[in-house]
Chains A and B, each alone.
Chain A
Amino acid sequence: MLGGTRMDISILKDMFPVLLQGSLLTIELTILSVVFGTLIGIVTALLKLSKNKFMAGVAGFYTWIFRGTPMLLQLIALYYVLPSIGIQLSPFQTAIIGLSLNSGAYMAEIIRGGILSVDKGQFEACKSLGFTYLDTMKRVILPQTFKIIIPSVGNEFITMLKDTSLVSTITMSEVMRKAQILSASTFRPMEAFFIAGCLYLLMTTIFTTVFSHYEKKLSVY
């Protein structure tokens, strides 16, 4: 019940395909930005842990900026400020870059913590066997780090899935933006946001299940 009106099933049916389409974009944005964010995060974490003070400083500055300001501000800055210095990006490109940079800053801290919690003896074993630094990371340390950080990454994934709603401010029609448009054009906010809420729950449930499955798979060792 909202304002004395009942939820209308036929309106739900009409709205559902539109919002479902929006949630596909939400999923696309989430997966791409977390994948890029993970890559950025690995590099940033390694730089932060490196002995090179300058590169560690650059990486520290990056996480300081992107964790210390709201993502909404970052997206708006990318979308409205970059054109003024001659960089013209589509809303989709802006969204991917903004979300990935933001995700990367958080992933960097998650990954750095994971690397630090790998037993020091693993590094020593690698060194005594003649591994290079990169092989040590690639073959031994990072695979063990991933097991440690899976729960935090799952958390980051779900946060990112919900935060993609912010790209509606740069005209991307993901599920939240579609719900706003539908509710405004039909004067039926309850149906629109009810479906949007259900779709978010569905998506987060699917990803949670996938992550806990992966976590179980890695718990063999």
Chain B
Amino acid sequence: MYMIETKNLTKSFGSLTVFENLNVTVKKGEVLVIIGPSGSGKSTFLRCLNHLEIPNKGEVFIEGEKLNTKNRKHMRNTIEKVGMVFQNFNLFHHMTVMQNVIEAPITVKHENREEVIKRAKVIIEKVGLIEKVDDYPSKLSGGQKQRVAIARSLAMRPDIMLFDEPTSSLDPELVGEVLGVMKDLAKEGMTMVVVTHEMGFAKDVADRVIFMDGGKIVEEGMPDEFFSNPKEERTKMFLNKVL
């Protein structure tokens, strides 16, 4: 069984087709990195995986469970297993770091507050922000915010983590701290799908790289081969520009 499987996934906005008939699978513990120019449909594809965007056609299976818009409760329960990290963090502005991290396990899973706090401390420690637990997001740097966002997702004990350009809105000197946390996660065996422009991260951490352009998967491969010996002309052109 795949952790994620899409079958003929198609998404369009009005008359604009973003992508058509995408079939992608992700295995347990695999780190899949999706790269490609802006407007290639990679973020929209990622957002379809937890139905932040509802695909027009095709299906998404999470651990074998089909996401079904008609059965909201089943869908929520399935999506709980999928953590998501956004480009703009989307932390809850009115909550401290600790409150951000414990909110979902308490509200969504109705877990015991004391136990969640205990677990949250471990997670916040792991992302290196234990001294910030009582600060509001407005007091944090971009890199710190993104690390809190990762901690908030991890508190739900997800099986899969989706990253939507997690470092794209960060100052260059803050990118490293976020990528560091993501590398640790990958080492621990987390199944991850990462949309990014960080080629270094893709080379070091990815198990598989997908290059998307114009709503199509142009090329797919192991990072070593993908970066040193790309087969498609379009991939070569893109890599020449960004590397």
Contacts and interface: CB of A to CB of B under 8 A. Distances in A.
A124 B93 contact: no
Interface stretch (B27-35, B60-68, B82-90): B82-90
Nearest to A129: B104
A121 B107 contact: no
A143 interface: yes
Interface of A is mostly: helix
Contact of A128 (B84, B89, B92, B95): B84
A28 interface: no
Interface in A118-141: 119, 121-122, 124-125, 127-132, 135, 139-140
Interface in A2-51: none
A130 B156 contact: yes
Contacts of B52: 124, 127-128
Given A130-B79, A130-B156, A125 B138 contact: no
A128 B92 CA distance: 13
A144 B95 CA distance: 10
A140 B93 CA distance: 9
A129 B84 CA distance: 8
A128 B136 contact: no
B82 A131 contact: no
B90 A124 contact: yes
Interface string B68-81: 00000000110110
B138 A221 contact: yes
A220 B156 contact: no
B137 interface: yes
B213 interface: no
Given A132-B76, A144-B93, A139 B107 contact: yes
A56 to B, nearest CB: 20
30 contacts: A121-B88, A121-B90, A122-B92, A122-B93, A124-B86, A125-B90, A125-B91, A127-B79, A128-B50, A128-B52, A128-B83, A128-B84, A129-B80, A129-B103, A129-B156, A130-B108, A130-B109, A131-B104, A131-B107, A131-B108, A132-B108, A139-B103, A139-B107, A140-B94, A140-B103, A144-B92, A144-B94, A147-B94, A220-B136, A221-B138
Interface of A: 119, 121-122, 124-125, 127-132, 135, 139-140, 143-144, 147, 220-221
Top 3 A-B residue pairs of the complex, sorted by shortest distance between their CB atoms: A121-B90, A128-B84, A130-B80
